[in-house]
Structure 1
Amino acid sequence: MPPGRLLRIQVTGRARAGKTTVRNALSLLSAEETAPIDEPGQPDPILDADLVLYILAGSLRPADRRALATVPSERALVLLNKADTIGTRWSDAATAAESHSAALGLPVYPIVAALATRTRAGTLTDADMRTLRRHRHRTDPACTLAPDLFTTPAAGTDVANRQLLLARWALHGVACALAALHHDPALSPCSLLQILHSASGIDPVHHELHRRHELTSAPCRS
């Protein structure tokens, strides 16, 4: 890539993989979001950018393999989005990412882009903290497996507060916040937000993007 030229990035993947959310989570406003891979009746987009962010959501399919086979490994970065929907623990998503990585011969990063976007744009309000502290004793993973389990009237009269909390931070964010506050009830909103940001898995992707950018933009030496 000629010195001084901006890195050209494409964000791609199958429909509903979360391409736009990932783009926002990484603040890649100048990145190109392609048409979906494997769209019925449509050709796959040409993946020819300096860096291709390939977004997976769930299982690896033949269309994903076919598309990634057209991209040199040094120009591909694979993100397993919606990692919070894989199994019941982060280790389940990490195992899935390792399996996909072995199949593709590429590193695969598990992330929850929706949570990363929330931590970039939002703050934990006093109302959020009051609701979280009120329910920090609910350490059973089952209580955050589904919205209706977390907002059940059986857990108290603050149903509306819990619904608002879910609308702002989603189940994965709420579950991580409850676990953190159960461990340390004195956490400040700022510290808890940092924990949630880390729980999104987005930081390793930021670091890898920075590394790829430096490698790609470095002047060639004879």
Structure 2
Amino acid sequence: MAEAPVLGWAIAAAGERDGAAASQLSAAVAAFRAPAVVEVAGRAGVGRTGVAALLDARLPEADVRDSAAIDVPGAADPDLCGDVVVYVVAGSVRRADRDTLARLDPARTLLVLAKADLAASWYDAAQTADAAGAEYGIPAAAMTTIGADDTASGRAGVVALARQRVEFALAARGDALVARVEEIAARSPAARDVLEDWLLGDDAAEIAAAAAVATVAHLPLPQSADPLDRARAWAWHRDRAATARDRRALDALVAVELRRWDPAPDGGVRDR
């Protein structure tokens, strides 16, 4: 069975009342569905091109771009605004790397130590990557540039981490989509009731929950398949959340699990 289009019925219903609102909704859905932009960044000569080629071949769901080099004399550093930034270093992490990493959002950044085959040992390369990643709160991996199979070379690990970052970035777009629908509803009296129905429905709740999972990816996922048990697990984390952002995300997760658990009036499971 084909997946129902996001906001499909709401766009159709809104179009009968406010064509401009329907067009704005379609544009919001297009942005939500667009491929994630993955920028591969770093200083000149560190192996950006090789990492970009690897990810471009292995991540067909993403738009992989090899960014201009940073720390080039006489040139401004590129504005790294992709959904995911894969930052490449080689040998050691230099001052220019540290300055750039400090400006990036850890939630959308991955550190790759390329040319690990030039290090004294694979262990030294992995330790360098791990230490730098831990310093900035981002995942890190080392990889060789030539030879060996995907696992031994570290390439498989880099691709897996990048794919995880892409999945989280795409899920996190749900917050922007829901906020945009709320904005359009506020500005369109004719379509407001239709859009508020969508915002109160299961589709919006599931999209918000997917975004929330991306926000709290640093927390362990509940292991139970029972929605009520999962709601309790998320509530436990919510009551101990360190930031308002985490609390909002965990509230959304508690709400969607309770929605999944809530029985229908006839005693069956509520249709979702």
Scaled to the shorter chain, the TM-score interval is: 0.5 to 0.7
In structure 2, how many angstroms separate the alpha carbons of the residues matched to 1:98 and 1:51?
Answer: 19
Structure 2 partner of 1:137: none
**Structure 1's 4 and 102: CA in aligned 2 closer, same or farther, altered over 3 A?**
closer
Q: Is the partner of 2:74 in helix, strand or coil? A: coil
- Give the aligned length: 142
In structure 2, how many angstroms separate the alpha carbons of the residues matched to 1:71 and 1:95?
Answer: 22
Structure 2 partner of 1:92: 124
1:37 aligns with 2:66: no
- Structure 2: runs of 5 or more not aligned: 1-27, 175-206, 209-251, 253-272
* Equivalent runs, 1:42-53 vs 2, <5 Å: 42-53=75-86
Report the residue type matching 2:39 in the other structure: Q
Report the residue type matching 1:107 in the other structure: P
**Structure 1's 204 and 44: CA in aligned 2 closer, same or farther, altered over 3 A?**
same
TM-score (norm 1): 0.59
Deviation of 1:14 after TM superposition, in Å, equals 0.3
- Determine which structure has more spread, i.e. the larger CA radius of gyration: 2
Structure 1 partner of 2:14: none
Percent of matched pairs sharing the same residue: 35
In structure 2, how many angstroms separate the alpha carbons of the residues matched to 1:211 and 1:197?
Answer: 17
1:103 aligns with 2:144: no
Structure 2 partner of 1:65: 98
Compute the RMSD of aligned alpha carbons.
Answer: 1.9
Conservation of the 8 A alpha-carbon contact between 1:81 and 1:110: yes
Deviation of 1:209 after TM superposition, in Å, equals 2.0
1:20 aligns with 2:49: yes
Conservation of the 8 A alpha-carbon contact between 1:47 and 1:70: no
Deviation of 1:107 after TM superposition, in Å, equals 2.2
- 1:48-76 per-residue CA deviation (whole Å, 9 max, x = no partner) reads 11000100011111111111222110111
Higher relative contact order (CA 8 A, sep 6+): 1
* Equivalent runs, 1:155-170 vs 2, <5 Å: 169=147
Q: Is the partner of 2:33 in helix, strand or coil? A: coil
Structure 1 partner of 2:195: none
1:10 aligns with 2:43: no
Structure 2 partner of 1:138: none
- Structure 1: runs of 5 or more not aligned: 116-168, 174-195
Q: Is the partner of 1:31 in helix, strand or coil? A: strand
TM-score (norm 2): 0.49
In structure 1, how many angstroms separate the alpha carbons of the residues matched to 2:115 and 2:96?
Answer: 19
